[in-house]
Amino acid sequence: MYDFEFVKVGSLAEAVAALKAEGAQALGGGQTLIPTLKQRLAQPAKLVSLTGIAELVGVSASDGVLSVGGATTHAQVAREATAYPALAELASHIGDPAVRNRGTIGGSLANDDPAADYPAGVLGSGATVVTNAREIAADDFFRGLFETALEEGEIITAVRFPIPQKASYQRFAQPASRFALTGVFVAQYADGVRVAVTGASENGVFRWSDAEAALSSSFAPEAVDGLSVSPDGLIGDLHGTPEYRAHLVKVLTRRAVAAAG
């Protein structure tokens, strides 16, 4: 690990100011950044810890919307997002207990790992990512591998999830890392069904629009039987070919629909 300056701020305003420094980088739970630093693959001049900002932590629900503060840990979401059980369930399977007690939703979304779970929940819910500067619709937020709509120094303060009628997240674990080899989030709303897929695409999380259309007319596992996912653009690596991932998308979508009831 290279030397860096470390500051832990107590308010959003202080964080925004601190991040203006040259080479400064926000630090959430550090579950990706700290291992990266340990391998000396990143050399930030300054890390600004967001975990001490009380206004960024918490889970609340009202008017059919679940709000999660940007620095809320996965463990807290798993415990407290009772108004949105599928999201609580998703959070409860991220990493291991140590990861869930440190990792935050804002950190996960800002990092946008193509195999992370939260992007599927956020895109599959059509959630809104709230920052210190603006509100970003999930459909506009994810821009590819480790790329988001966030500007330099912009901080995720909250994520607002419209609570669906039914939803489920089904993930198939990569055997080594236990990240999602493929994960599918299905959510049924009054105005239609959303299906978001993580882990599978070279461009990060995406919506499977054919399945959304089919499930919007019939919310049953069989509704996707006639569909197929093209392996073009899907990830091929040690753990699975693009064809395998394409197959898993369909299997997991069926399972998510069945589990959502």
Partner 1 sequence: MAKDSGIGAASKRREDVRFLSGSGKYTDDINLAGQAYACFLRSSVAHGRINAIDTAAATAMPGVVAILTAKDFEGAGGLPCGWCVTGKDGPMKEPKHPILAEGKVRHVGDPIAMVIADTKEQAQAAADAISVDIEELPAVIDMKAAIAGGPLVHEDIGTNLCYDWNFGSDKAETDAAFETAHHVTRLELTNNRLVPNAMEPRVAIGAYDRSTGEHTLYTTSQNPHVIRLLMGAFVLQIPEHKLRVVAPDVGGGFGSKIFHYAEEAACTLAAKLVNRPVKWTAERSESFVTDAHGRDHVSTIELALDAEGHFLALRTDTLANMGAYLSTFAPSVPTYLHGTLMAGNYATPLINVNVRAVFTNTVPVDAYRGAGRPEATFQLERVIDMAAREMGIDPVEIRRRNFIKPDQFPYQTPVALAYDTGNYHATMDKLVEIADIAGFAARKAESAARGKLRGLGIACYIEACGIAPSAVAGALGARAGLYESATVRVNATGSVTVLTGSHSHGQGHETTFPQVVAEMLGIDEGQVEVVHGDTGRIPFGMGTYGSRSIAVGGAALVRATEKIINKARKIAAHLMEAAEGDVEFANGTFSVKGTDKSVGWGDVCLTAYVPHNFPHETLEPGLEETAFYDPANFTFPAGAYAAEVEVDPDTGQVTLCSFAAADDFGNIINPMIVDGQVHGGIGQGVGQALLEHAVYDANGQLLSGSYMDYAMPRADDVPFYAVDHSCQTPCTHNPLGVKGCGEAGAIGTPPTIVNAVIDALADRGVKHIDMPLTPARVWAAMQG
Beta-ladder partners of 47:
6, 25
- Site for partner 1 contains 176 (CB under 8 A): yes
Return the residue of 47, 68, 248, 260 that touches partner 1, per CB under 8 A. Answer: 248
- Site for partner 1 contains 93 (CB under 8 A): no
| Min dist. Cβ of residue 183 to partner 1 (A) | 13
For residues 65 and 173, which CB has a smaller minimum distance to partner 1 in the complex? Answer: 173
Return the residue of 85, 144, 175, 233 that touches partner 1, per CB under 8 A. Answer: 175
- Site for partner 1 contains 60 (CB under 8 A): no
Query: What span, in angstroms and rounded, lies between the C-alpha atoms of 153 and 21?
Result: 9
- Spell out the residues 6+ positions from residue 64 whose beta carbon is closer than 8 angstroms to its own: 162, 163
Give the burial class of 237: count Cβ atoms within 10 A of its Cβ; 0-12 exposed, 13-18 middle, 19 or more buried.
exposed
- Spell out the residues 6+ positions from residue 210 whose beta carbon is closer than 8 angstroms to its own: 227
- Site for partner 1 contains 1 (CB under 8 A): yes
- Token couple for 45: 């001049």
Q: Which segment (21-29, 132-140, 158-166, 172-180) binds partner 1 by CB under 8 A?
A: 172-180
For residues 66 and 115, which CB has a smaller minimum distance to partner 1 in the complex? Answer: 115
Q: Which segment (6-14, 183-191, 195-203, 247-255) binds partner 1 by CB under 8 A?
A: 247-255
**What string marks each residue from 30 to 59 as x (binds partner 1 by CB under 8 A) or -?**
---------xx-------------------
Query: What span, in angstroms and rounded, lies between the C-alpha atoms of 182 and 192?
Result: 23
User: To 5 degrees, how large is the angle CA 220–CA 223–CA 226?
Assistant: 155
- Token couple for 151: 């500007």
**Applying CB under 8 A, which residues contact partner 1?**
1-3, 39-40, 172, 175-177, 179, 181, 238-241, 244, 247-248, 251
